[in-house]
Amino acid sequence: MTSVATLGSHCSLQVLKGAKDEGFKTILICEKKRESLYRRFSFIDEFILVDSFKEILGLKCAKRLEEQDAIIIPHGTLIAQMSSQEIESIKIPIFGNKRILKWESDRNMKEKLMLEAKLNIPKSLLSPKEIKGLAIAKRHGAAGGKGYFLTTSEKDYKRKRDKLIQQGTIKGDSDLYLQEYAFGVSAYLQYFYSPLKDTLEFFGVDRRYESDIDGLGRIPASQQIDIDITPSFNVIGNSPLVLRESLLEEVYSMGEKFVEASKKLVTPGMTGPFCLEGVYDDNGRFTAFEFSARIVAGTNLYVEGSPYSAFIYDEPMSMGKRIAREIKNAEKDNQLVNILT
Ligand code: AMP
């Protein structure tokens, strides 16, 4: 009997609850220090306790997963804690296209895929010398916004970079990627692409609350000037958003273009959940500064379905449940090879 496994973090509760609701056995690969948290939830059938998530690369863990016919659902923690090579070397089947995760982690590859999808993206700056207006320095990989900073000149960039080096957060320039800052209202667009049905489903939108940039608005400008802080963009949580209905047509077309581009550049393309992340400007034009090629934590908002999933399904449908439904449908039609890598 097939089981569904994931790492205990990020959106694991949603993923395993959805899998259980769809009739799968559920397995949590859980760091020992978090065991007591996850033991609270009865929908987790089995625990594989580890000291570090890297243990899933080892034979012992792999054997246990293999014995249970497990399918691993990748999420942000897998990408944050493992290199692309390590992820690709995992022998247990992974839901979706594990090769596309590399395109998420590497900023240059990421830009290439977004350009292929003809998304409107902020200009990347090849050197701090190119900084003219407001720019953002970001780290590679799924760093969750930690160690990011805003900057307006080369001099200012160097000062902030050196501080991060001193703190041990980064090693040097090569750990940072510079991009023009995009102004507007942030929106993180959540999609699911089913290769079985060849359809794109728009699942929901969220906004991220990032510390400490989102707390700055509570401090009057006169006091902001007096304090020397470099705001970071560390994600703390998410809040829901619905879009003006007139924006939805473009939401779908951006998602479809992304799916098409991914099929061209990284076969079999973008299978399952993904997210386009960016801002809407005052003309309702979307600038995408990022994508996630797997389930995002913002979908945790919609465990009971979202204002958009309700238009597609006559039942509460979370992203976790949607993934499990895809596995179930694929199993029924003998199509698992088309949704796993
Ligand atoms: P990322 O890792 O690219 O998702 O960035 C983390 C956070 O930094 C985002 O959620 C945004 O708040 C902010 N951010 C990243 N890139 C940009 C950009 N080009 N313009 C404005 N904000 C950005």
Lookup: tokens for 155: 């001099």
Q: Residues 61-72: pLDDT tens digits?
A: 999 999 999 999
Number of domains in the chain: 3
Assign 142 a pLDDT band (cuts: 50, 70, 90). low
How much of the chain exceeds pLDDT 70, in percent? Answer: 99
Task: Examine the domain organization and report whether 190 and 291 are in the same domain.
Answer: yes
Task: Examine the domain organization and report whether 139 and 269 are in the same domain.
Answer: no
Cβ of 18 closer than 6 Å to ligand 1, yes or no, is no
Residue 230 has pLDDT above 90, yes or no: no
| Three-state SS at 28 | strand
Lookup: tokens for 136: 């953002």
Task: Examine the domain organization and report whether 230 and 160 are in the same domain.
Answer: no
Residue 8 has pLDDT above 80, yes or no: yes
Residue 143 has pLDDT above 70, yes or no: no
Per-residue pLDDT, 66 = 97
Question: What CATH number has the domain bearing residue 22?
Answer: 3.40.50.20
| Domain encompassing residue 215 | 105-119+184-318
Task: Examine the domain organization and report whether 81 and 18 are in the same domain.
Answer: yes
Cβ of 325 closer than 6 Å to ligand 1, yes or no, is no
Mutation test residue for ligand 1: of 177, 233, 280, 296, the one with most atoms within 8 Å of CB: 233
- Flag whether 325 is in a domain: no
Give the pLDDT mean for 135-154.
Answer: 85
Assign 165 a pLDDT band (cuts: 50, 70, 90). very high
- Flag whether 28 is in a domain: yes
- Flag whether 324 is in a domain: no
CA of 62 to the centre of ligand 1 (A): 35
Mutation test residue for ligand 1: of 136, 212, 279, the one with most atoms within 8 Å of CB: 136
Per-residue pLDDT, 231 = 84
Among protein residues, the one whose CA lies closest to atom 2 of ligand 1:
145
Task: Examine the domain organization and report whether 128 and 77 are in the same domain.
Answer: no
CA pair distance 309, 316, nearest whole angstrom: 8
| Three-state SS at 123 | coil
Give the pLDDT mean for 185-201.
Answer: 98
Task: Examine the domain organization and report whether 231 and 299 are in the same domain.
Answer: yes
**Closest to 35 in 3D by CA, of 19, 45, 49, 46:** 49
**Closest to 2 in 3D by CA, of 45, 40, 31, 56:** 45
Ligand 1 atom at minimum distance from 148 CA: 8
Residue 338 has pLDDT above 70, yes or no: yes
The per-type count for the chain, helices as H runs and strands as E runs, is: 12, 13
- SS3 of the chain: helix, strand, coil, percent, to 5: 40, 25, 35
Give the pLDDT mean for 225-242.
Answer: 90
Residue 141 has pLDDT above 80, yes or no: no
CA pair distance 149, 88, nearest whole angstrom: 31
Q: Answer yes or no: are the C-beta atoms of 295 and 302 closer than 8 Å.
A: no
Give the pLDDT mean for 163-185.
Answer: 92
Task: Examine the domain organization and report whether 203 and 284 are in the same domain.
Answer: yes
- Flag whether 21 is in a domain: yes
Task: Examine the domain organization and report whether 204 and 80 are in the same domain.
Answer: no
Question: What CATH number has the domain bearing residue 129?
Answer: 3.30.1490.20
CA pair distance 170, 124, nearest whole angstrom: 19
Mean pLDDT of the chain: 95
Task: Examine the domain organization and report whether 153 and 192 are in the same domain.
Answer: no
CA pair distance 232, 83, nearest whole angstrom: 24
Whether the upstream peptide bond of residue 212 has omega within 30° of 0, thus cis, is yes
Give the pLDDT mean for 306-318.
Answer: 98
CA of 179 to the centre of ligand 1 (A): 9
Task: Examine the domain organization and report whether 115 and 244 are in the same domain.
Answer: yes
Task: Examine the domain organization and report whether 15 and 136 are in the same domain.
Answer: no
Mutation test residue for ligand 1: of 189, 234, 275, 290, the one with most atoms within 8 Å of CB: 290
- Flag whether 335 is in a domain: no
Per-residue pLDDT, 229 = 80
Residue 43 has pLDDT above 80, yes or no: yes
Task: Examine the domain organization and report whether 207 and 265 are in the same domain.
Answer: yes
Lowest mean pLDDT among 30-39, 229-238, 275-284: 229-238
Give the pLDDT mean for 271-282.
Answer: 98
Assign 186 a pLDDT band (cuts: 50, 70, 90). very high
Q: Answer yes or no: are the C-beta atoms of 277 and 190 closer than 8 Å.
A: no
- Flag whether 313 is in a domain: yes
Cβ of 148 closer than 6 Å to ligand 1, yes or no, is yes
Give the pLDDT mean for 231-249.
Answer: 95
